Chain A
Amino acid sequence: MKKLVLGGNDAVAYAVKQCYVDVVSAYPITPQTSIIENIAHFIAKGEMKTRFIKVESEHSAMAAAIGSAVAGSRVFTATSSQGLLLMHEMLHWAAGLGAPIVMANANRAVAPPWSIWADQVDSLSQRDTGWIQFYASNSQDAYDLLFLSFRLAEKVKNPVMVCMDGFLVTHTKEPVATFEDEITDFIKIKDTPVLLDVDKPEAVGALAFPKDYMPVKLEQIKRISTAKEEFYNIAKEFKDVSKKEYKPLYTYGYSDADIVLVAMGSNAETAHLAIDLLDKEGIKSKLIKIVMFRPFPKDEFKKEFKRVKKVVVFDRNVSLGKSGITKDEIAGALGIKNIIGVVCGLGGVDVTEVEMANIAKDVLENKIKEDMILWGEK
């Protein structure tokens, strides 16, 4: 292992370089661009043997990735915000065909008004496309999740998206433990599907009448629902090499907490500090950080919520007309009542540990009884 000071984007590109990727197809968009710039440099310097298809749009980035993946190549792409939205149609194609593409997404607000800053509505509004979704809170997560994602995608034949909050994770640099040769055995062997074969000419993605459509979808449902178990298996293998443990939900703080704070992405990082602040005031609290959002870790949430009286969920995203998206998902999946959703930090607005701790206290004291939006003079 070697420690380097890397941003989330640097970490992702560095991981891609080490993951024996055959084909990259991508299009620039802030704040993702430095990923593909890094990759282009690695290729130019001969450090990576990868074909980089420089496409004319994100829609085409995903389309080329699909063409490459179904013929057996290991494929990577990256995007953000508007680009991810443009890809939407092809995200369904990738998942539907079982193409094990790995994509990094820099979470960025969606226009209008134009914004390049952190907001998770871009990837969360792709939640029904059939992609496995991970959220990295820091550069180390981003780096490690790339290795895990290639293995998982190929194991379950399902594409994987690794999301990072724009700038707050993508461009924030910090020490990252990177692999040298010790990771080779874990990542080198590919388990990519070969759906097109001239010696066995079959059609992929053909028209299905209703009676044929459902069975295909059932298979897809089965595929993604095995992803969580397979993630545990692969993460165990990864731990043997990296000494780092990855689980669908990461926790920090007291197991017998009076209040649980749930966060995803960069908010989860700051929330550690809120837990420490509450601790200083004698309040036992716990952080649940969502690492895997799809498939949704329902059982894990159930376990973590046992005996918990209050839950507050911080969402750097919003489902307009409803609530923060992860709050809605958690409440919907678990049917718990004492759960307060906080929509905050849209379009890159700061969210601090003090704000988080104050809200947690107000929830505990019943001063906050309903979902709220965190906004005011900063």
Chain B
Amino acid sequence: MKEIGLHGRGGQGVVTAGELLANIYFKEGYEVQFMPSYGAERRGSPSNAYVRVDKKRVLHRYPVRIPDEIIVLNVTLLPDLALKEGGIALLNLSSDVGLKKNDKVRFFIVDVNKIALECKLGTPATPHVNTAILGAYCKITGNFSFDSLKKVYEEKLGKMAKLNIEAAEKAYDSVREI
């Protein structure tokens, strides 16, 4: 079983990202579980969501504790996040300046704030970075085809699908390991 944590702040679209990710894995034939971690609905407060992916039905009814992979939409949350040894951290970040690396986990960065704004997703105050970052996730993990991502976006995002796919493509192309 693979456990993925998605972390951001209210308004960034963490919950939607998790649901889309679960649907992409589902499209690839996996059993999935998407578990948002809810508090009171408020912009700006930390927001977490978890996706579990497995060959057989997922039965755990509690949030993921130590994920195999984390997708971090807001890096201010990073110090409080758990990640398995050998895990992957995908960060919404324009440069690695100031990032404390270690040899226990692999870091990837992608500037989805910039990409989202280029694709007219959200506003400078709250760029909608959730769809772009899954493109980067697709590239670095290779766990599913970009075509599955595209199909899910088309099914779930309606008229907005095109721009979001474009953003995901840009993130796919620009994500890099540090």
Contact = CB atoms under 8 A, between A and B. Distances in A.
Nearest to B20: A5
Given A5-B22, A173-B22, A175-B26, A270 B62 contact: yes
B34 A174 contact: yes
Contacts of A267: 61
A166 to B, nearest CB: 9
A342 interface: no
A169 B38 CA distance: 13
B19 A352 contact: no
B36 interface: yes
A308 B37 CA distance: 38
A273 B60 contact: yes
Interface size class of B (residues with CB under 8 A): 10 to 19
A300 interface: no
B92 interface: no
A167 B40 CA distance: 12
Nearest to A266: B61
A165 interface: yes
Given A5-B23, A165-B61, A174 B38 contact: no
A159 interface: no
B58 interface: yes
B16 to A, nearest CB: 12
B33 interface: yes
Contacts of B62: 168, 270, 350-352
Interface string B18-40: 01001100100001111110101
A266 B26 CA distance: 22
A351 B61 CA distance: 8
Interface of B: 19, 22-23, 26, 31-36, 38, 40, 57-63
16 contacts: A5-B32, A7-B34, A172-B33, A172-B34, A172-B36, A172-B61, A173-B32, A173-B34, A174-B31, A174-B34, A175-B31, A267-B61, A269-B61, A273-B60, A350-B62, A351-B61
